[in-house]
Homo-oligomer: A and B are copies of this chain.
């Protein structure tokens, strides 16, 4: 199929002679050739490259020279087949261009690259079917480990997976052999946000939640409730809305809040994107942030620093999440016990929240 098999064979490059099956992209050096040039056996070359066994210093040098001279690069595909390790890690994210998880991908990429591994990024689209398909694909490609960034897959399915290969999963706390989990402290973060508003004197604090299907969405709502309860401030159920974690949802939720007629002086949105939508809704109604209504988001996405006004938010260590996840799979692969921990969420007060007037 590649490059029209029926066509007359294109004249091979100058280095004709042997005409193999068109595998090697012409000019590719094999370990075999290195061995010949260095005057040793292929096994020895392999051993030197992988540090699998002790070899004589002289041969080591000869092989190093040959590798250098020939510009040899090991073929990961062949390595994968022969050795069973592909030096690749499957990463199941939900949306490849998520403004939030993007940082995690960066963290993963950094750590893996330094370790000589490559991430294989795939998107689960928050659906079990897509996730399952992705995971199957990754297993077929023989990844050495798996990082699951949140997702809808069940705990038991994750555990089953971990029996087959090292797995790191975020967004939940489960324990099983071959498995490591890592989660943000959403409860604490949401408490932080609410306490920030309470400290500013607000009492009637509305909450715009995410998709209740997400475990973090319920944790964030619980954090809001906990903080209110700790402060002895009753929660008005009419002040709880859902925005599905997207801008438009935040906008609609805010409109419903405004239309409900229930008074409030502050809003805590369970993510920054909903906060953006909420801010726009307020703006459309002629209400100013924070003069009329204080607004706090969650996640502290990159652009929140530059919104009008700059958005107060709860910072999640998301790049760190990526780094730790990658370190953890590497640990699992090496047979070490991962010990990664995430730093705590942090309240970043900017200009969208202010003291309750009066």
Contact = CB atoms under 8 A, between A and B. Distances in A.
Interface of A: 1-4, 7, 21-27, 73-78, 80-81, 83-86, 95-97, 99, 102-103, 105-106, 109, 118-123, 136-137, 139-142, 144, 164-165, 247, 251, 273, 276-277, 279-280, 283, 302-303, 305-310, 333-335
B118 A96 contact: no
B306 A308 contact: no
A103 B109 contact: no
Contacts of A102: 96-97, 102
A141 B309 CA distance: 47
Contacts of A75: 81, 140, 142
Contacts of A4: 335
Given A2-B333, A23-B81, A273-B303, 10 more contacts: A3-B333, A3-B335, A4-B335, A77-B80, A81-B81, A96-B109, A276-B307, A280-B306, A283-B309, A303-B303
Given A81-B81, A136-B73, A280 B310 contact: yes
A357 to B, nearest CB: 20
Contact of A164 (B25, B105, B119, B137): B25
A308 B247 CA distance: 13
- What are the 5 tightest A-B residue pairs by CB atom distance, in nearest-first order? A97-B102, A23-B84, A4-B335, A77-B80, A276-B306
A279 B308 contact: yes
A280 to B, nearest CB: 5
Contacts of A310: 280
A140 B74 contact: yes
Given A2-B333, A251-B306, A310-B280, A21 B84 contact: yes
A96 B86 contact: no
Most buried by B among A77, A105, A142, A277: A77
Contacts of A96: 102, 105-106, 109, 121
Most buried by B among A23, A77, A97, A303: A97
Nearest to A3: B335
22 contacts: A2-B84, A2-B85, A2-B333, A3-B333, A73-B136, A73-B140, A74-B140, A75-B81, A75-B140, A76-B140, A77-B81, A77-B86, A96-B106, A96-B109, A97-B105, A109-B123, A121-B121, A247-B303, A247-B305, A276-B303, A279-B308, A283-B309
